[in-house]
Structure 1
Amino acid sequence: MIEASAPGKLYIAGEYAVVEPGHPAILVAVDQFITVSLEQTEHVGSLTSFQYGNLPVLWRRHNDLLVLDKRENPFHYILAAINITESYAKEFGKELSFYHLTVDSELDSSKGRKYGLGSSAAVTVATVRALCRYYGLTDTNVAVFKLAALAHLSIKSNGSCGDVAASVYGGWLAYTTFDRAWVLERQGENRSVKEMIQMDWPHLSITPLTPPEDLRLVIGWTGSPASTSDLVDQVTTKRKRDQMAYDIFLEESTVCVNRMINAFYAGDIGTIQNQIRRNRQLLLRMSKDTGVTIETPALTQLCDVAETYHGAAKSSGAGGGDCGIVIMYRKEGLLPLITAWESEGIMNLPLNVYTKI
């Protein structure tokens, strides 16, 4: 039995702008995980996930490609991860085999509702890492990130892959995405997966950050799931109405996040808080310009309540529901905020930042 786990993520700052190459964001990995287990079999394999009823979906091989018995399946990210990683394995002369693959997720509620912690990225990363171990491939962070990113590109994901980086590297990260067009162009030249992994991808930057010792991260969940891909699509479509306003948003987001990154290096919690508030205002203005709801009434309530308890708060990720984050000094009492949130129907998620040992 081979196992690999990948943590969930939360965006701290830089959302939407990070989709464009070279524009930074800050993320954290959280200590809830998706675990992928592989066990070798013969002649037929299976995919099983609690998220999809725990009923195994059987698969076979045709010319080394994995073929499902059920054509309509919910395993798009897992299948993309398998296809990319097994192509990589074949380039090293590995013989493909059959296996049972089981997914166990802590990133959703017991009722299967998503918290917005990046389950698609985490399941991709865990699948890639498990298969690398299964086939005896070196699973360096760079290789796993690029394999998982290629898997996401293969299913036309419109995200930045920042969530993939958080699931691979753990901890606090400063991240800028790669030039997607450049990567797709190289793939169009029929480059091998091995070559793609070895290349330097333009604009890609993944830098660990050390938070100030007295910084506290608090996470609230509105109880309303949101679709990141749909919201990003909406913003991409509607920003064309006023491209100049969106370009200004990109510039100001970059200044804001870079100031926040410098504040991490300086251990300056007050500046981090100020830039959290600044980033919230930038997202609200961009939301108004595009007509896409990022900060829902529940997220506004989450943020406004946190501000009354000396926290700097904003939506996390694409918004439209899901989570908000709060940056506080550790000396500030946490219980009054959680109690106030509960009276507004907002749940504190008792998550910690996961740092790989």
Structure 2
Amino acid sequence: MICGVKRLWLYTVIATLGMTGVAHAAEVPGVDVSNWTGEIDWAAVSSGGAKFAFVHATEGTDYTNPSFDAQFGGSASAGLVRGAYHFAQPHESDGTAQADHFLRNGGNWISDGQTLPGVLDLEDNPYTNTNGKNNCYDLSAADMVTWIKDFTKKYRAATGRHAIIYTTTSWWQTCTGNTTTFKSNPLWLARWGSEVGELPKGWKKHTFWQSAEKGTLAGGQNVFNGSESQLKSLANPPAEVKVGGRAVSRKSYTVTISNTGPHPVKDVKVTGRTFGGQRVVKAPGCTFSGTAVTCRIGELPRGQKKTFAITTRPTRSKGTVGLNVTVGSVKLALKAR
């Protein structure tokens, strides 16, 4: 018996490129700001060339930026793509609790075409004099990886997006053991200077680069590693479904459609045709005739899945039989002997 799993991206092909690992010649400027930045002339930031802004939203489980609403809304009103970031305090609580705090206070991704995935800010502990912890917040590398997993898993479940990870190469090497676990998360690298330099292990390319704490624009100085259209695609990615199938036996097959992207998907059509001398005899929720079967999904919410069970009547007891399945551009061959 053969199982198959493939992904189908439902909009444009260009948006299927993972923003974590594609080299681009273009670089798009942007800024990052916090309450410490003060009042911001967002029109001047925009006219100065910035196309995006990251705004500090939360820290730990109890701090919220009092200027967040003004900064987040102001950047949007000036036409910038914007995103929120959470400053991690891994010693205070688990990653899930801090992700919850972030999601409730500005970090929740919305499908408006102007909001970037939220950011998990991981860097040297700036409060060593007050909390008595080392730069890794006194967590072992293994415990830190677990903490980051908890945060990013919660964020992914709540939004359908991979949180962006902001860090330095040195912190990542020291505090996570240079783990490769989070290579699906876009990397925002902090390294002040004229070169991006060495990346943390697991990432082949950066998505954002913070090159300076201050500059000609308000706040930190950043660039996006791509074109402006790719930046907008990161804010508004395509819908995505995962197509899985299994030959349970010579006369029983299942096809599962899972919505693994950030948007609801509509009007999904599943078509199948048997081979090896079989006829479809049962397919709840589908239409069928002879060797052909068609199943439709009107709407599949984000994070949900739908499974179709298809029963056939083989006309011979030996040899390979199966079902060829098509969902958009995805094709699966489910075989049984």
TM-score range, shorter chain: under 0.3
Larger fraction in helix: 1
Higher Rg of the two aligned structures? 2
Q: TM-score, normalised by structure 1?
A: 0.26
Larger fraction in strand: 2
